[in-house]
Amino acid sequence: MAAVNRTRLTGPSFFIMARRGFRTSVRHRRLRRAAVLMAAMGVVAVAVLALRRGAGLIRERSETRRDVVSIMDVWNQGRYAEVAAIAEDRLAEEPLDRDALLFAGYARFFLAVSRLSAQDRNSDLDAAIGHLRLLAARGDTPHPERVDYILGKAYFLKGPYWADLSSRYLQAALDAGYQADDLYEFMGQAQSALGNLDAAMEWYELAAENHPTDRLLLTLGSEAFQLGRYDDAVRYYRRAIDGTRDDSIRKRGLSQLGQLYYDVGNYTMAREVLESLVEMDRNDENTMFLLAETYHELGLDDEARTTWFAVTRINPRHVGALRRLYD
């Protein structure tokens, strides 16, 4: 068996088979090499395309990232004019770019708040409203309630003729569950501008429950006074006066409280409040004149006359004081 096997292995058929096998193996190797080469060329081609495409994506993304980082840095520094410029340059190319609309709208709003010129303020408000309404119209804003909130404030700042739209957008923000310290107060101001004093008072009281600022308490006092709720008005004025560290707030509160007492005929309390106010500022002709009138109502003619003279020293042309002294 071993000899037969050796003969078979060393016979002509072996060489024929070997040559055929060699040729076959060479052919297979060549095919494999060709296949590998073609695959390699395909990979290279795909890689080149991918590199080209990738380079474009990387360049695009890096530019976008640079814009976003830049705009965020500028935003965090409060440079809203630059933020608006960057965002609006982007909008010139992509008018519906969501992030650009968001940054442009917010930046224009904060610019408007800081403007001293009414013309510049209204121009920024109009731009902010335009950007934010277009953003809302896209329908894919992550937090649309925030956009409604800013729109409500922007319309309010445009003036009383826009109070209805202000109220509408602020209400939409509230309905969506948005919370902000000044949201109720702005709702109150919008309702007050619309002449809905009872509704305004309700919103102001809600605001005071959550964030009772000195200015809000003064506003509550004024609104309560207009509604004839004098006890409530006194209470709010007192809270503002006693709780503030701002002398301008204290003066304003004392002035309004003194006027309230005078208007309702409580001259004794009016005298007490107005004398405190005069101690703070002896050059306020209006307070001095009201104090003189209060003395007159109390029958304190000497004090009244002295105070009317004091008014004329502040303002020699004060008509009310001159009539009292010389009629």
Task: Write down the pLDDT at residue 39.
Answer: 35
How many whole angstroms separate alpha carbon 143 and alpha carbon 198?
A: 31
CA distance 18 to 92: 75
pLDDT of residue 44: 30
Phi then psi for residue 316, to 5 deg, are -60, -15
Q: From the CA atom positions of the chain, what is the Rg in Å? A: 40
Give residue 20's pLDDT: 42
Phi, psi of 235 (to 5 degrees): -60, -45
pLDDT of residue 317: 94
Dihedral (C-alpha) 86, 141, 144, 91: value to the nearest 10 degrees?
30
Which pLDDT score, from 0 to 100, does residue 111 have? 95
Alpha carbon distance 109, 180 (integer Å): 17
In this predicted structure, what is the pLDDT of residue 75? Answer: 87
Residue 49 pLDDT: 30
Tens place of pLDDT for every residue, the chain, 327 residues?
433 333 333 333 333 333 344 344 434 444 334 433 333 333 333 222 322 322 222 233 334 444 445 678 888 888 899 999 999 999 999 999 999 999 999 999 999 999 999 999 999 999 999 999 999 998 888 889 999 999 999 999 999 999 999 999 999 999 999 999 899 999 999 999 999 999 999 999 999 998 889 999 999 999 999 999 999 999 999 999 999 999 999 999 999 999 999 999 999 999 999 999 999 999 999 999 999 999 999 999 999 999 999 999 999 999 999 999 997
CB 253 within 8 A of CB 221: yes
- Model pTM score: 0.66
